Chain A
Amino acid sequence: MDFALSEEQRMLQDSISGYLEGGSSLERVRQVAEDGGARADDVWQELAGLGVHGVLIDEDYGGVGLGHLEAALIAEALGATTTPVPYVASSIMAPTAIAVAGSSEQKESWLPRIAAGEVVVGVGVTEQVGRRESDGITHTDGNLSGKAMFVLDGAEADAYLIASDDGAMHMVDAGEVERQRLKTIDRTRTVAEVLLNDTKADTLPGSATSPEPLLATIDVGRLILAADTLGAAQTMLDKSIEYAKERRQFNRVIGSFQAVKHMCAEMAAELEPCRSMIWYAAHAYGAIPEEGRAMACHAKAHLAEVGQFVARKSTEVHGGMGITDLLGLHYWFKRIGFNRQLLGAPELVREEAARAQGWI
Chain B
Amino acid sequence: MDLEYSAEYQAFRDEVRQFLDEHGTKAPRPQGGDDRLTPRDWQQLLIEHGYAARTIPREYGGYGAEPDILKTRIIAEEFARARVPPGHSGDNRLVPTVLELGTEEQKRKYVGPSVRGEVSWCQGYSEPGSGSDLASLSTKAELDGDEWVVNGQKIWTSGAKTADMMFCLVRTEPDAPKHNGISYLVFSMDTPGIDVRPLVTMTGEAFFNEVFFTDVRVPKDQIVGKRGEGWFVANTTLRYERGGLGDPNEAENRFLRIVDMMQRETVGGVSLMENPIYRDRLLKLQARILAMKFNGMRVLSHNIKGEEAGLPRWIVKLNGCELNHQMAGMAVDVMGELGLLYDGSPYLRDHGFWQARYMLDLGLIIGGGTAQIQKNMIGERALGLPKEPKYDQAAA
- Most A CB contacts (10 A, CB to CB) among B290, B311, B380 go to B290
Contact assessment for B297 and A3 in the assembled complex, using a CB-CB cutoff below 8 Å? yes
Closest to A237 in B: B383
Contact assessment for B376 and A258 in the assembled complex, using a CB-CB cutoff below 8 Å? yes
9-residue interface stretch from B78-86, B133-141, B272-280: B272-280
B379 within 8 A of A: yes
Assembled-state Cα–Cα distance A14/B375 (Å): 30
A272 within 8 A of B: yes
A244: chain B residues within 8 A (beta carbon): 385
B312: chain A residues within 8 A (beta carbon): 272-273, 276
Q: State the Cβ distance, B161 to closest chain A Cβ, in Å.
A: 36
Contact assessment for A69 and B379 in the assembled complex, using a CB-CB cutoff below 8 Å? no
Q: State the Cβ distance, A275 to closest chain B Cβ, in Å.
A: 8
A276: chain B residues within 8 A (beta carbon): 291, 294-295, 297-298, 312
Q: State the Cβ distance, A309 to closest chain B Cβ, in Å.
A: 12
B5 within 8 A of A: yes
Given B291, B298, B379, which contacts A3 in the complex, CB threshold below 8 Å?
B298
Given the contacts A1-B9, A360-B279, A261 and B376 also touching, CB distance less than 8 Å: yes
A139: chain B residues within 8 A (beta carbon): none
Give the A interface residue count (CB, 8 A): 47
Q: State the Cβ distance, A9 to closest chain B Cβ, in Å.
A: 8
Given B70, B292, B302, B388, which contacts A273 in the complex, CB threshold below 8 Å?
B292
B287: chain A residues within 8 A (beta carbon): 277, 298, 301-302, 305, 350, 353
Given B295, B300, B388, which contacts A272 in the complex, CB threshold below 8 Å?
B295
B220 within 8 A of A: no
Contact assessment for B315 and A273 in the assembled complex, using a CB-CB cutoff below 8 Å? yes
A252 within 8 A of B: yes
Q: State the Cβ distance, B270 to closest chain A Cβ, in Å.
A: 13
Contact assessment for B388 and A258 in the assembled complex, using a CB-CB cutoff below 8 Å? yes
A280: chain B residues within 8 A (beta carbon): 290, 294, 297
Contact assessment for A6 and B1 in the assembled complex, using a CB-CB cutoff below 8 Å? yes
A326 within 8 A of B: no
Given the contacts A2-B2, A258-B372, A353 and B283 also touching, CB distance less than 8 Å: yes
9-residue interface stretch from A100-108, A151-159, A172-180, A263-271: A263-271
Contact assessment for A265 and B375 in the assembled complex, using a CB-CB cutoff below 8 Å? yes
Given the contacts A256-B385, A305-B284, A351-B276, A4 and B4 also touching, CB distance less than 8 Å: no
A360: chain B residues within 8 A (beta carbon): 273-274, 279
B388: chain A residues within 8 A (beta carbon): 256-258
B300: chain A residues within 8 A (beta carbon): 1, 3
- Most A CB contacts (10 A, CB to CB) among B5, B294, B301, B315 go to B294
A245: chain B residues within 8 A (beta carbon): 384-386
Among residues 101 to 130 in chain A, which have CB atoms less than 8 Å away from a CB atom of chain B? none
Q: State the Cβ distance, A15 to closest chain B Cβ, in Å.
A: 19
Assembled-state Cα–Cα distance A302/B388 (Å): 33
Contact assessment for A272 and B315 in the assembled complex, using a CB-CB cutoff below 8 Å? yes
B286 within 8 A of A: yes
Q: State the Cβ distance, A318 to closest chain B Cβ, in Å.
A: 15
Contact assessment for A241 and B4 in the assembled complex, using a CB-CB cutoff below 8 Å? no
Assembled-state Cα–Cα distance A353/B279 (Å): 10
Q: State the Cβ distance, A287 to closest chain B Cβ, in Å.
A: 7
Closest to A352 in B: B283
Contact assessment for A283 and B3 in the assembled complex, using a CB-CB cutoff below 8 Å? yes
Assembled-state Cα–Cα distance A346/B4 (Å): 31
B362 within 8 A of A: no
Assembled-state Cα–Cα distance A266/B315 (Å): 9
Assembled-state Cα–Cα distance A268/B384 (Å): 12
B332 within 8 A of A: no
Closest to A67 in B: B1
Q: State the Cβ distance, B141 to closest chain A Cβ, in Å.
A: 34
Contact assessment for A273 and B283 in the assembled complex, using a CB-CB cutoff below 8 Å? no
Among residues 1 to 31 in chain B, which have CB atoms less than 8 Å away from a CB atom of chain A? 1-6, 9
Assembled-state Cα–Cα distance A207/B374 (Å): 51
* Interface bits B352-396 vs A (CB < 8 Å: 1, else 0): 000000000000000000001011101110111111110000000
B351 within 8 A of A: no
Assembled-state Cα–Cα distance A255/B388 (Å): 9
Q: State the Cβ distance, A279 to closest chain B Cβ, in Å.
A: 7
A343: chain B residues within 8 A (beta carbon): none
Q: State the Cβ distance, A189 to closest chain B Cβ, in Å.
A: 25
Given B263, B288, B294, which contacts A279 in the complex, CB threshold below 8 Å?
B294
Given A264, A350, A359, which contacts B284 in the complex, CB threshold below 8 Å?
A350
Closest to B380 in A: A261
B302: chain A residues within 8 A (beta carbon): 4
B319 within 8 A of A: yes
B259 within 8 A of A: yes
Contact assessment for B382 and A1 in the assembled complex, using a CB-CB cutoff below 8 Å? no
Assembled-state Cα–Cα distance A295/B291 (Å): 10
Assembled-state Cα–Cα distance A258/B70 (Å): 38
Given A269, A279, A283, which contacts B318 in the complex, CB threshold below 8 Å?
A269
B304 within 8 A of A: yes
Q: State the Cβ distance, B73 to closest chain A Cβ, in Å.
A: 9
- Most A CB contacts (10 A, CB to CB) among B2, B263, B300 go to B2
Given the contacts A252-B389, A258-B376, A262-B372, A1 and B292 also touching, CB distance less than 8 Å: no
A274 within 8 A of B: yes
Q: State the Cβ distance, B156 to closest chain A Cβ, in Å.
A: 23
A253 within 8 A of B: yes
Contact assessment for A2 and B301 in the assembled complex, using a CB-CB cutoff below 8 Å? yes
B280: chain A residues within 8 A (beta carbon): 347, 350-351
Contact assessment for A261 and B375 in the assembled complex, using a CB-CB cutoff below 8 Å? yes
B295: chain A residues within 8 A (beta carbon): 272-273, 276
Assembled-state Cα–Cα distance A184/B1 (Å): 37
Contact assessment for A273 and B291 in the assembled complex, using a CB-CB cutoff below 8 Å? yes
B290: chain A residues within 8 A (beta carbon): 277, 280, 295, 298
Given A5, A252, A256, A258, which contacts B1 in the complex, CB threshold below 8 Å?
A5
Contact assessment for B304 and A264 in the assembled complex, using a CB-CB cutoff below 8 Å? no
- Most A CB contacts (10 A, CB to CB) among B287, B295, B301 go to B287
Closest to A291 in B: B290
Query: Can you pick out 13 interface pairs between chain A and chain B where the beta carbons lie within 8 Å of each other?
Result: A1-B304, A2-B2, A3-B294, A4-B1, A5-B1, A245-B385, A255-B379, A257-B388, A265-B378, A269-B318, A275-B298, A287-B1, A360-B274
Closest 10 CB pairs of A and B: A276-B294, A273-B291, A261-B379, A302-B287, A265-B375, A3-B297, A265-B378, A255-B385, A350-B283, A273-B295
Residues of chain B touching chain A, judged by Cβ–Cβ distance below 8 Å, are 1-6, 9, 70, 259, 263, 273-274, 276, 279-280, 282-284, 286-288, 290-292, 294-295, 297-298, 300-302, 304-305, 311-312, 315, 318-319, 372, 374-376, 378-380, 382-389
